[in-house]
Amino acid sequence: MLAGFQDAFVALAADADLRHRFRTDAKAALADFELTPREHAALVAIPLPALERYARSLVAKRWSEVSRVTPLTLRVAPGLGATYRAWAAITPARAIDTLLSPGVAEALRAHDAIRAALAHPAEASYAADLWSFEVLRAASRGDGEIRTFASRFAIQAIAAEVERGLLPIDPDLQPTTVRFVRPCELGTVSTPAHLRAP
C-alpha cells in the first residue's frame, strides 16, 4: 500500500506538469497510481505551496551536484544554474542504475539540452564545448567508458586557461576531437589542417 503513495509523491515532486495537473484535477492526475482512498486523501491534503517548495529543493540539490561537475563552465556561463533549473523543472529525473555519482549522472542526462542552451549567441562561443568537455570527462572517469566529442576549439587548452582564472574572449578556431580513453587519461586528436575551418 505504501508503495503507491511513495510512487505518486515522488512523481509529484519530480514532475512539474504532473503537479500542474494535480492542482487543477487531483483525481485525474493521480489516476495512474494504485492508491487506497486513504493514500489519495493524504496526497490531496498536502498543501500545494509545500509540495512546490519540496520540488524546488530537489532541483536545487541536483543542481548543487551538477555544479560540482562543471565548475569551469559555470565560470564562463554564470546563468548555467538558472538554465539547468528551468530544464530540470520540466524534465523529471528517473531512477537508474549507474556507476556514476548522482551529479555526473544528472549532468550526463542534461548534457544535450544544456549544450543546446549554451550554444546561444549570448554565451561564450566555446561554452557548449566546455560543458561537454567537463561532463564527458567526469562520466568517463566515473565509469571508464570511452567517450569522444568534436570541438571547434582546442577545448583542452581553453579548459586549462579557465582553470587558471582566465576567460578567453575570442579563441581561434582549432577543430579538435577529444577522446576520454580511461578514467584518468585524456587523449586529443586535432583535425588535420586541410579540414580546419579558416
pLDDT tens digits for range 11-36: 888 888 888 899 999 999 999 898 99
Q: Which pLDDT belongs to residue 188?
A: 53
Q: Cα separation of 68 and 100, whole Å?
A: 14
Read off the pLDDT band of 99 (50, 70, 90).
Answer: confident
Q: Which pLDDT belongs to residue 7?
A: 86
Instruction: Specify the pTM.
Output: 0.80
Helix (H) or strand (E) holding 69: helix 48-69
Read off the pLDDT band of 98 (50, 70, 90).
Answer: confident
| pLDDT(103) > 80 | yes
Q: Which sequence spans correspond to the domains of the chain?
A: 47-195
| pLDDT(3) > 90 | no
Q: Which three cell numbers stand for residue 98?
A: 549507474
**Strands, sheet with 176-182, edge to edge from the N-terminal-most edge strand:** 147-151, 176-182, 185-190
Report pLDDT digits (tens) over 40-84.
999 999 999 999 999 889 889 999 999 999 999 999 999 999 999
Read off the pLDDT band of 197 (50, 70, 90).
Answer: very low
Q: Which pLDDT belongs to residue 186?
A: 54
Read off the pLDDT band of 191 (50, 70, 90).
Answer: low
- Phi/psi region, residue 145 (left: phi>0; alpha: psi -120 to 50; beta: rest), is beta
Q: Which pLDDT belongs to residue 124?
A: 97
Q: Which pLDDT belongs to residue 17?
A: 87
Report pLDDT digits (tens) over 153-189.
999 999 999 999 999 999 999 999 999 976 555 555 5
Determine how many CB atoms are found less than 10 A away from the CB of residue 172: 10
Q: Cα separation of 91 and 108, whole Å?
A: 13
| pLDDT(196) > 60 | no
Reported in sequence order, the residue ranges of the chain that DSSP labels E, i.e. its strands, are: 147-151, 176-182, 185-190
